[in-house]
Amino acid sequence: MQYLIFCPKYRIKNNHIKPNSISIPFSAIGTLIFITTAGFRIYFYHIYANVKEFTIFMHISTYYDCIFYSIGFIMNFVISIAQSRNAISLVLIFQKIHRFLNSCVNTRRFIIQNWIITITYFCGYMSFYAYMCIQMYNSFFIVFVSFIIISFDFNILYSIRMVNLLENKIVLWNARALYVESSDAFDKGYSKEMLQIYVNILKCYDLYKQGFQHFMLYYIIDLFSHALIYIEVSIQVMFIGIKLNNYPVLATVSIFGWLVKGLIWQTLLSQACEKFYIAVQNTEDTCAIILSSNCSDDNKKLCKNVLRLLRTSFSKISACGLFYIDAALHVAHVTLLTNHVIVLLQFAL
């Protein structure tokens, strides 16, 4: 999935994981190509579009797209280099967790789901935007830009699947702790191992927050700002009534399709993070159950250490300190977006 975001952070060869320093020049060239293509999009809009019928806001939105997505491509490239070693550390630590907490059925199901989700979304996205671009007679560059911005969606998909993976390990840890407690099979060595595994899960979680918080912030800003811009553009297009075949209708359908797609990804991201927080909260409940039972001193020590660890080390995912990624964010975002859309509609009437 890393190659679908055009800037892989590492490579695995002969069972060895290494920083992807070889592909850095190619990623840099690719980033420059993407930025150049986004710039050409403005030029071709002036050639192929009915510029005389465009309002000032429509021109501003075109320039905003170019600048905003160029920043996104640069950010994608810089973070892939800056977070390369953290990404490798995350993989190596996660391997230690996986050796201890592993469900073959869950792992196989998770891999199959990854392939199904990735292929289905990729084919659906390409088919939808290819059809829209062909029907609206867009140039090759406009079609190409519409395709390459899928990398931002795959960043969010990658972050969703990663937090799902960590959530699975938390669930397995809770189940293992309850099973061992009920069977009275805890010993001092096993307690230390269980504690170390939970420490490693939280380490992976911290590395995950460092590596993905910028992408989450960028995507939330992208969804909110472009939603308002595109809705205003669609209002102006339909209001002015540019008569280019079915252009106003198709453009509006494309805009609202993009908006629905963005809201779905944000919903899935918020849901995945919320499920992880619930799994961590269930760990506290698991420790409370074990402490209230007739358990050994090693059991009590393990649970107390885990609870202390959660109090001092765990926090929700913060998008660069601006807001937390949880269910409340999605509700607040949709509410704010709805209020602004109502204002736009009032000015349009």
- What pLDDT digit, counting tens, does each position of 23-64 carry? 677 777 777 877 777 777 676 666 655 555 567 777 788 788
61 located within any domain: no
46 three-class SS: helix
Number of domains within the chain: 1
230 located within any domain: yes
Radius of gyration of the chain from Cα atoms?
24
The pLDDT tens digits for 183-218 are 655 567 788 898 999 999 999 999 999 989 999 999
Q: Stretch 92-115: mean pLDDT, rounded?
A: 90
Write the burial class of residue 314 (CB in 10 Å: 0-12 exposed, 13-18 middle, 19+ buried).
middle
72 located within any domain: no
324 three-class SS: strand
Q: Of 47, 45, 85, whose CA–CA distance to 64 is shortest? A: 45
d(Cα 101, Cα 157) in Å, to the nearest integer? 24
Tell me what the pLDDT averaged over the chain comes to. 82
The pLDDT tens digits for 118-147 are 899 988 888 887 777 777 666 666 666 677
Expressed as residue numbers, the domain containing 185 is 83-348
2 located within any domain: no
242 located within any domain: yes
pLDDT of residue 204: 95
CB 329 within 8 A of CB 323: yes
333 located within any domain: yes
The pLDDT tens digits for 263-311 are 999 999 999 999 999 999 999 998 888 888 777 777 788 888 999 999 9
**Residue 8 vs residues 25, 36, 161, 200: alpha-carbon distances, Å:** 12, 21, 16, 24
293 located within any domain: yes
CB 247 within 8 A of CB 267: no
Q: Where are the beta strands (DSSP E) in the chain?
A: 10-13, 16-19
68 located within any domain: no
Q: Strands 10-13, 16-19: parallel, antiparallel or unpaired by DSSP?
A: antiparallel
